[in-house]
Amino acid sequence: MCGITGYTGFNQAGPILLDGLKRLEYRGYDSAGIAVQGEEEIMMLKATGKVSHLVDKYNDTPDFKGVCGIGHTRWATHGIPSDTNAHPHLSADGKFAVVHNGIIENFAEIRAELEKYGIEFKSETDTEVIVQLLAHNYKGNFKMALMKTIAKLEGSYAIGVISADHPGTIFCARLSSPLIIGLGLEENYFASDITALVSNTKDVIDMDDGEVAELTPEGVKIYDHAGREINKAVRHITWDIASAEKSGYEHFMMKEIMEQPQALKATIEPRVKDEEIVFDELKLDMKKFNRVHITACGSAYHAGCVGRGIIEALCRIPVEAEVASELRYRDPIMDDKTLVIVISQSGETADTIAAMKECKYKGATVLAIVNVVGSSIAKLADHCLYTWAGPEIAVATTKGYTTQVVLLAMFAVWAAGELKTISHGAYTSMVKDIMRLPERAQRALDLNSRVMKMADKYYDNQSLFFIGRNMDYAVALEGSLKLKEISYLHSEAYAAGELKHGTIALIEPGRLVVALCCYEKLLDKTISNIQQVKARGARVLAVAHEGNRAIVTEADDVLFVPVTDPLLVPVIEIIPMQLFAYYVAKKNGCDIDKPKNLAKSVTVE
Ligand code: M6R
């Protein structure tokens, strides 16, 4: 989705903006642009396609000079990807330029009103109304014109604006879209995402809804919705630029797959003291709730499906898991005795935000499981537990997912302890198994070269199935999504027992079926489903626990992973599936980190 960045200081803004845009590329986009305050006027460069096209244009324009500017990567929502629709957008009088992340819902109404004044629009975008309205409202005071403008906007926005009449000044504003200010020495920055800033500064201010920031080289002022100056805390980022770069890996996805043992460790260890799970940050009375709803999108929803199983098994409380895009419109039955767990790596997913707002409106208590510190979901939730996965850049989530699952498992054990639904022995054994997950994840990663061979063997299957039962089924959902999103192969996940109710008609000689077989309580059942597809000519690639002899005679190939508690199976079992998706996509020549049509953070409905 769109990304924004800006710089004011004493260096040339162009290279700094382009570097920031390159770091925002992972979010998904189809055009990009930058604008700087030139000697006499605002200068702009735009390009459809990759940021590298914009860099070429910049290198071919030696006059493009200025020490204050804004930049944007656009993921088209209103109007096709084109140079005209790309941001920044300029006001008709050429005095203001804006970059915007979000959607202005009442843009048609504002546009019609401004057109009555004879203002001519150049693009089809919702964003252009912001800059045209700003110029229309401007009577010499930049801040006042901006406050008046944003008061009229409905929807979501993180914006950065420059003015030809105010050299060195950038104004930013936010409503329901992420915005961070970066603090430097006689130079300051803004961006929609820390990764765009972290090579320049590690001191940031998280903007909240309704706030406006004024950036000059000398300093940053933050104002509340009424324009009063306020003090905001400065946050120091603890991870460095290497975390946001590939560190020698060919793709971010592979780097992030390999980082899982470390990410799991970072998420688990600070929360285990004397074999007890301690959430210092969580003040939640579990006895208050008679049911739990889990909601999220995509892989985070798949993590939620695992969480449902673990919480129900350990806490004996009814749990539902539902995709946020459905829950938000379903008028769900919930009240103040309902705990809603929302899960999101980015913390900015529009459907998840809308669903959590709906749940809060109905009186539920919301606990968020989020990776990005200070994100919208983290802020809106009543309680928040962070996964400490570090920045995740590849569109296909890997360490984001496994850290979500482990945190849900830890929450379930903790909650079962609070509710006294778990014996001391079972509690201690779960904690021990959770503590061993980083090492077991490392052993699962040792399958790397064997998985590569499996990908060589099976990469040209145009349509395949993932099957499993219980926890294995939850992994099938995630394994299948991983494969299709980066390799563009058709794949479906099926509860193994459900296959015979229709889908088995699609099994034909040579069809690949990936059978997840680590949930051993139901292994016999899954094996009989394997036999059913084999009888119809399918080839079977199984994932099973080390020492499982039964599977060897049933499947064509087996990937053996370390044994773990049945409820923790997904954390380990998904790892060879992530590697499989990666190598199949690579064999098929796909753009692994930036799959077509996808965005890292889906901030539109
Ligand atoms: O940032 P979130 O966890 O809220 O994102 C939710 C989904 O968009 C995300 O998991 C998506 O399905 C991934 N691309 C899957 O790899």
Ligand 1 contact via 297 beta carbon (within 6 Å)? yes
- Given a contact cutoff of 8 angstroms between Cβ atoms, the answer to whether 209 and 197 are in contact is no
Task: Report which ligand 1 atom has the smallest distance to the Cα of 396.
Answer: 16
Considering the domain architecture, whether residues 149 and 14 belong to the same structural domain is answered as yes
Q: Out of 95, 265, 482, 600, which one is annotated catalytic?
A: 600
Spacing of C-alpha 487 from chain mean position: 19
Q: Which of 205, 485, 256 is nearest to 391 (CA)?
A: 256
Q: Is residue 602 part of a domain?
A: no
Task: Report which ligand 1 atom has the smallest distance to the Cα of 398.
Answer: 16
CATH number at residue 467: 3.40.50.10490
Ligand 1 contact via 178 beta carbon (within 6 Å)? no
Radius of gyration of the chain (CA): 25
Q: Using alpha carbons, list the distances in angstroms from residue 436 to 313, 402, 474.
A: 21, 14, 21
**Phi, psi at 36, each rounded to 5°:** -130, 160
Considering the domain architecture, whether residues 199 and 286 belong to the same structural domain is answered as no
Residue type present at position 422: I
The tokens for 235 are 């946050």
For residue 493, list its beta bridge partners: 466
Considering the domain architecture, whether residues 291 and 168 belong to the same structural domain is answered as no
Q: How far apart are CA 14 and CA 38, in angstroms?
A: 11
Task: Report which ligand 1 atom has the smallest distance to the Cα of 299.
Answer: 10
Ligand 1 contact via 32 beta carbon (within 6 Å)? no
Q: How far apart are CA 85 and CA 2, in angstroms?
A: 13
Q: How far apart are CA 180 and CA 194, in angstroms?
A: 7
Q: Is residue 598 part of a domain?
A: no
pLDDT at 1: 65
Question: Catalytic: 2?
Answer: yes
User: Tokens 């210092």 belong to which residue?
Assistant: 280
3-state secondary structure 251-298: CHHHHHHHCHHHHHHHHHHHHEECCEECCCCCCCCHHHCCEEEEEECH
Considering the domain architecture, whether residues 89 and 220 belong to the same structural domain is answered as yes
Ligand 1 contact via 257 beta carbon (within 6 Å)? no
Q: Is residue 600 part of a domain?
A: no
Q: Is residue 169 part of a domain?
A: yes
Considering the domain architecture, whether residues 477 and 534 belong to the same structural domain is answered as yes
Considering the domain architecture, whether residues 39 and 53 belong to the same structural domain is answered as yes
The tokens for 458 are 């099976």
- Given a contact cutoff of 8 angstroms between Cβ atoms, the answer to whether 37 and 164 are in contact is yes
Considering the domain architecture, whether residues 257 and 192 belong to the same structural domain is answered as no
Considering the domain architecture, whether residues 405 and 303 belong to the same structural domain is answered as yes
Ligand 1 contact via 300 beta carbon (within 6 Å)? yes
For residue 369, list its beta bridge partners: 343, 385
Count structural domains, the chain: 3
Q: Is residue 112 part of a domain?
A: yes
Helices (H), 193-259: 252-258
Q: Which residues of 241-267 are buried (b: 16+ CB within 10 A; e: fewer)?
A: eebbbeeeeebbbbbbbbbbbbbbbbb
* Largest CA-CA distance found in the chain, in angstroms, rounded: 80
Ligand 1 contact via 397 beta carbon (within 6 Å)? yes
Task: Report which ligand 1 atom has the smallest distance to the Cα of 404.
Answer: 3
Ligand 1 contact via 396 beta carbon (within 6 Å)? yes
Which residue's CA is minimally distant from atom 7 of ligand 1?
298
Q: Which residues contact 486 (CB under 8 A, 6 or more apart)?
A: 253, 395, 396, 581, 582, 585, 590, 592, 595
Considering the domain architecture, whether residues 178 and 199 belong to the same structural domain is answered as yes
Could you tell me whether strands 365-370 and 383-386 are parallel, antiparallel, or unpaired per DSSP bridges? Answer: parallel
Q: Which of 210, 241, 272 is the last residue of a domain?
A: 241
Q: Is residue 560 part of a domain?
A: yes
Considering the domain architecture, whether residues 50 and 127 belong to the same structural domain is answered as yes
Ligand 1 contact via 349 beta carbon (within 6 Å)? yes
Which residue's CA is minimally distant from atom 11 of ligand 1?
298
* Cα 477 to averaged position of ligand 1 atoms, centre (Å): 13
Considering the domain architecture, whether residues 182 and 253 belong to the same structural domain is answered as no
**Phi, psi at 167, each rounded to 5°:** -60, 135
Residue type present at position 270: P
pLDDT at 51: 92
Q: Which residues contact 304 (CB under 8 A, 6 or more apart)?
A: 294, 295, 296, 321, 341, 343, 408
Query: Taking the chain (605 residues) in consecutive chunks of 10 residues, what is each chunk's mean pLDDT?
Result: 92 96 82 93 93 94 96 85 90 96 91 94 93 97 97 94 97 92 97 89 93 97 96 87 75 94 93 94 94 98 98 97 93 95 95 96 97 89 94 94 98 98 97 97 94 95 94 98 95 92 86 96 94 94 95 95 97 98 96 82 73
Q: Is residue 601 part of a domain?
A: no
Ligand 1 contact via 346 beta carbon (within 6 Å)? yes
* Cα 324 to averaged position of ligand 1 atoms, centre (Å): 12
Q: Which of 216, 241, 266 is the last residue of a domain?
A: 241
Which residue's CA is minimally distant from atom 9 of ligand 1?
298
CATH number at residue 48: 3.60.20.10
Q: Out of 2, 517, 518, 590, which one is annotated catalytic?
A: 2
Q: Is residue 596 part of a domain?
A: no
Considering the domain architecture, whether residues 272 and 224 belong to the same structural domain is answered as no
The tokens for 135 are 């110029």
pLDDT at 423: 97
Q: Which of 409, 435, 461 is the last residue of a domain?
A: 435
Q: Indicate the pTM of the whole model.
A: 0.79
Q: Supply the range of the domain harboring residue 466.
A: 441-590
Q: How far apart are CA 408 and CA 341, in angstroms?
A: 9
Question: Catalytic: 600?
Answer: yes
Residue type present at position 157: Y
Q: Which residues contact 331 (CB under 8 A, 6 or more apart)?
A: none
Task: Report which ligand 1 atom has the smallest distance to the Cα of 302.
Answer: 10
For residue 339, list its beta bridge partners: 292, 365
